[in-house]
Structure 1
Amino acid sequence: MVDFVRVQKELVQCNKDNSVSGVSLNLHEDEDLKHLCGTITGPVGTPYEGGLFHIDIRLPESYPFGPPKMQFKTKVWHPNISSQNGAICLDILKENWSPALNLKTTMLSLQALLSTPVPDDPLDGVVARQYLNEHQTFVATARYWTETFAKKNSSGTEEKVQKLVEMGFPECLVWTALEAVGGDENLALEKLCSG
């Protein structure tokens, strides 16, 4: 059974210094403590700098003894993150999970993964080959994806998000909906209304 008291404490702890750490956690729209939305800022000095990356987090019944299931909702070009579905290859999300870890340390580990890819243990082989063999192209592609999908000011997205949030939709869902429909505000609204 999920330790809900611990999860609530972790939410408060993570958001206490989010302007410094660059990571935050919120409840998903269904307000179920087993389903969270996280964000991490792209690390300075990387092609992800300036980006805000949204992560879907689902806690198993065994949490904190079992690892959370995390998936990038923002498209990201990285050897250890699927460019197709946002799946993540990180040892602490699998066999190296420990109940001593928490959601904040896991989010910080994802942020560190953006700084230090592990191309020898890739999830996305195409990206890993590009990282190893055509590094300048990799950096340019990762930077382009960050500009296109993870920057708030990309093509008026900030204003679209604000409008939809004012309609009562949670910000993390608004970002996900806009990304899924290529930034089209009307299609995003349809998607949000249809559940």
Structure 2
Amino acid sequence: MSSNRTRRIAKEIADIQNDPLSKIIVEPYGNGEDLTHLRGQFEGPPDTAYEGGRFFVDIRLPSEYPFRPPVMKFETRMWHPNVSSQTGAICLDTLANAWSPVLTIKSALISLQSLLSTPEPKDPQDAEVAGMLIRNPKEFEHVAREWAIKYAGAPRKEIAEGSGGSNAESLKKKAQLNKEKEEKAKMAAYHGYNKELIDRFVAMGFDVPTVVSAFEYVGIDKMDGEDYELEEAYMGDITARLFGEA
């Protein structure tokens, strides 16, 4: 595994460990040293059938990471239209055609957590579950909760009627809110710099926080978030900082 890729993965894991508020955990599978095979876990989101459960995800990083997405599947069985109830396979754009090197293992897990709040029955991984959600949302909530109790250790309690996506309108609103929240979180990582400007360096294999840190260390002007061409001297200073030469 290349040294740049190893450093990026190690930094991503360290960043997750240094953010206890997210309640997301990632570690090498089996507590080994292989950084290409990880195990992630997160709590079920509140006001859903999955609330109070803990969900485990098998994560495998391809040799082209971060230019190709991680391969993730749920180890914890669940009743959800976008997750296979048999294999744990996941249907999520972030892990497929919507993947970008800007994204991280943490952001992918956050997207999975959000998916539990905003199921998409019209783009299912499990047709049986999707059909139940469309035809009988209350029955879907009941079965999803029973599975969360049985397989994810969720406490046995009633889910309030109307919560957790019990109708199409609430699902749509929650999906929009989560999408806006994710977009704001992504843009906050740029610290006011233009996204395209930062992403040109991200495409070299570095994550957004690392590139932003290098920009701030060199003293690059944010130009009110506008995109512009950096002078050659600044390009050299930033590159040297990214590769640990400054």
Which of the pair has more CA radius of gyration? 2
More divergent stretch after superposition (83-92 vs 143-152): 143-152
Aligned to 2:87: 85
Is this contact kept in 1: 2:81–2:119, CA < 8 A? Answer: yes
Is this contact kept in 1: 2:53–2:155, CA < 8 A? Answer: no
Structure 2 letter corresponding to 1:26? E
Larger relative contact order (C-alpha < 8 A, sep ≥ 6)? Answer: 1
* Correspondent of 1:150 among 149, 152, 164: 152
1:13 to 2:15 alignment: yes
- The DSSP-based 3-state class of the residue aligned with 1:36 is strand
How many residues get paired? 153
1:49 to 2:51 alignment: yes
Partner Cα separation in structure 1 for residue 143 and residue 18 of structure 2: 34
Aligned to 2:29: 28
Q: 1:26-57: per-residue Cα shift (whole Å, max 9, x none)?
A: 11124200000000100000000000000000
1:61 to 2:63 alignment: yes
Partner Cα separation in structure 2 for residue 149 and residue 35 of structure 1: 23
The TM-score with structure 1 as length reference comes to 0.76
Cα distance, 1:24 vs structure 2: 1.2
Is this contact kept in 1: 2:57–2:73, CA < 8 A? Answer: yes
- The DSSP-based 3-state class of the residue aligned with 2:110 is helix
Aligned to 2:77: 75
Rate the CA distance shift 1:47–1:152 in 2: closer, same or farther, 3 A: closer
Cα distance, 1:80 vs structure 2: 0.2
Cα distance, 1:88 vs structure 2: 0.3
The TM-score with structure 2 as length reference comes to 0.60
Structure 1 letter corresponding to 2:90? I
Partner Cα separation in structure 2 for residue 31 and residue 10 of structure 1: 15
Cα distance, 1:85 vs structure 2: 0.3
Q: Percent identity?
A: 46
Aligned to 2:198: none
Query: Where does the alignment leave 5 or more consecutive residues of structure 1 unmatched?
Result: 155-195
* Correspondent of 1:96 among 95, 98, 113: 98
Partner Cα separation in structure 2 for residue 71 and residue 57 of structure 1: 7
Please give the residue correspondences for 1:85-164 in structure 2 after superposition, counting only pairs within 5 Å.
85-151=87-153
Aligned to 1:168: none
Cα distance, 1:22 vs structure 2: 2.6
- The DSSP-based 3-state class of the residue aligned with 1:138 is helix
Runs of 4+ in 1 over 2 A off after TM superposition: none
